[in-house]
Structure 1
Amino acid sequence: MRRISCDIHIQARPEQVWAVLTDFDRFHEWNPFLVEATGRPQPGTRLSLRFRLPDSGTEMVFKPTVLTSEPHRVLRWRGRFGVKGIFDGLHSFELTPVDGGTHLVQMETFTGVLVPFTRSVITQSDVGFQRLNEALKERVETLAAA
């Protein structure tokens, strides 16, 4: 098992952050890591997400299933490479109201037999999470100020 996590404070209400985070049709406009997304943030639905690894520019598509969608609080999905237990990722965004803004934590727990052999992908994903958080902050704060 391997877990990566990063957090950021966004000067906007959780509902404003949620609106941008779940507007998948516009990810291509601002998101440097999840560069394309389709689907609905509803439990049981499948998303189609194309991500770009920061250092290599390599792009991959995966189709996770939404597990939890609590508006303004939590979005969680599980993706798999092949069958269960090979390379699974449990990804979440958690939003908490703090000091008139939002504390956002983005996290993923990787499990499966291939995890020890995917170090560079996980390391690059960690950088991608940080860039996504920073871009989300900029997008939300810009929209909130308008």
Structure 2
Amino acid sequence: MKEVKTDILITAPIELLWKIFTDFDSYKDWNTVMSIEGQAQLGEHLKLSIQLGNKLSIFKTKVVEVSHEQTFEWTGNLGHKRIFSGQHYFHFKPEGEGQTRLTHGERFSGIFSHPIVKKIETDTRNSFEAFNLALKEHAENLVI
């Protein structure tokens, strides 16, 4: 299994980050990397648009884990999960006074996961890091 994993320390309380993160309709106000249509609820089907390098990629996903103010995960695949599948995750953890660590990544599997990830890994990591930074800047501006 191949994984792209990023993390960032954000100087904002976890409650605020969770509120911002789960308000998908407001994403357009603070980030240019990702948009999500749907609800942050277990079993919900989401439409995800993410900028990967110079290409806008659109995926249909399913929410597979939601733990309030802790974890949000979805899965998506190309055709069938045995061909290429990804489990995208956001983990929020309080760290210090008014700080939260966001771990954001995706675990890939399927028979074509290695060649596909080799091709998209850099753009995927860059997109995750850009999203993380946009979330950090937006949240920290609200705290001040």
Tell me the TM-score normalised to structure 1 length: 0.92
- Report which stretch shifted further, 121-130 or 38-47: 121-130
The aligned residue for residue 103 of structure 2 is 105
The aligned residue for residue 32 of structure 1 is 32
The aligned residue for residue 55 of structure 2 is 58
**SS of corresponding position for 1:41:** coil
The residue identity in structure 1 corresponding to 2:114 is P
Stretches of structure 2 lacking an aligned partner (at least 5 in a row) = none
Deviations 1:69-117 (A, max 9, x none): 1111110111111112111001111111111210110021011112122
Identical residues among aligned pairs (%): 32
The aligned residue for residue 130 of structure 1 is 129
When the two chains are superposed, the root-mean-square deviation of aligned CA atoms in Å is: 1.1
Displaced runs of 4+ in structure 1, greater than 6 A? none
- Distance across 2 between alignment mates of 1:43 and 1:8: 25
- Distance across 1 between alignment mates of 2:88 and 2:19: 18
- Distance across 2 between alignment mates of 1:129 and 1:43: 22
Q: CA deviation at 1:33?
A: 2.2
**SS of corresponding position for 1:15:** helix
The aligned residue for residue 16 of structure 1 is 16
- Distance across 2 between alignment mates of 1:144 and 1:120: 38
The residue identity in structure 1 corresponding to 2:73 is R
Q: CA deviation at 1:40?
A: 0.6
- Report which stretch shifted further, 118-127 or 4-13: 118-127
Corresponding pairs, count: 142
**SS of corresponding position for 1:140:** helix
Q: Check whether the contact 1:2–1:109 (CA below 8 A) recurs between aligned residues.
A: yes
Tell me the TM-score normalised to structure 2 length: 0.93
**SS of corresponding position for 1:44:** coil
The residue identity in structure 2 corresponding to 1:105 is T
- Report which stretch shifted further, 42-51 or 25-34: 25-34
